[in-house]
Amino acid sequence: MKTTASETVSSYGKDIKLNVTGANPEIVDKLTRYIQASLLTEGFNVVTDENATHLDVVISAFDPGNAALRLTIGFGAGRGSLVYNAKYTKNGKLLVDYDGAERFTGLEIAPGTKYETFRNFGGEETSTLILLEEASKHIVEQATVNGK
């Protein structure tokens, strides 16, 4: 589900206070870093100011999948997944409420992604990085023209 205000997130300013939570501290830390990098790339400032637009991300499920199953069986076996909710708010006003779910089967080939020819055959670390890259991209898109 995605809901948005009539204005873009950036129309409320370029300062974003980021908060990522979830059960796995390592994944929370990595996703935080990916989102920060994506926000900076899109021209936002990551700040600690309470008056900034808040971006709260809650990771509800993470599974890196099983590389052996991906390589031997395929067809979605051993796929990794990351399920999360991202909310942009400003002064208590909900700007964006986005439910995201990333999947990694190892068969993804798409122009414009960061996938490399043999990268999809990697193990847990590779699937984790791809899931986090995709999640951060989709979360930050919600604050830009694509996300409204």
**148 inside domain:** no
Nearest alpha-carbon partner for 42 in 145, 111, 135: 145
| Residue 73 located in a structural domain | yes
Q: Indicate which CATH number applies to the domain containing 9.
A: 3.40.50
Specify if 38 maps to a domain: yes
Joined together, the tokens standing for residue 90 give: 């400003």
Examine the pLDDT at 57 and tell me if it is beyond 90: yes
**pLDDT tens by residue, 19-29:** 999 999 999 99
Q: How many domains does the chain have?
A: 1
Q: Higher-confidence residue: 146 or 138?
A: 138
Answer whether residue 117 shows pLDDT above 70: no
Range with the largest mean pLDDT of 9-13, 33-37, 64-68, 89-93: 33-37
Please answer whether residues 44 and 15 qualify as being in contact, where contact means their C-beta atoms are separated by less than 8 angstroms.
Answer: yes
The reply to whether 85 falls in a domain is yes
Range of 84's domain?
2-141
104 within domain boundaries: yes
Is residue 136 helix, strand or coil?
helix
Kindly state whether residue 147 falls inside one of the protein's structural domains. no
**How are beta strands 93-104 and 2-4 bridged, if at all?**
antiparallel
pTM listed for this prediction: 0.80
Mean pLDDT, range 31-50, rounded to an integer? 97
Share of the chain above pLDDT 70, in %: 69
19 within a domain of the structure (yes/no):
yes
Return the number of other C-beta atoms located less than 10 Å from residue 111's C-beta.
Answer: 5
Which of 98, 108, 104 shows the shortest CA–CA distance to 77? 104
**For residue 146, is it within any domain?**
no
Q: Place 108 in a pLDDT band, splitting at 50, 70 and 90.
A: low
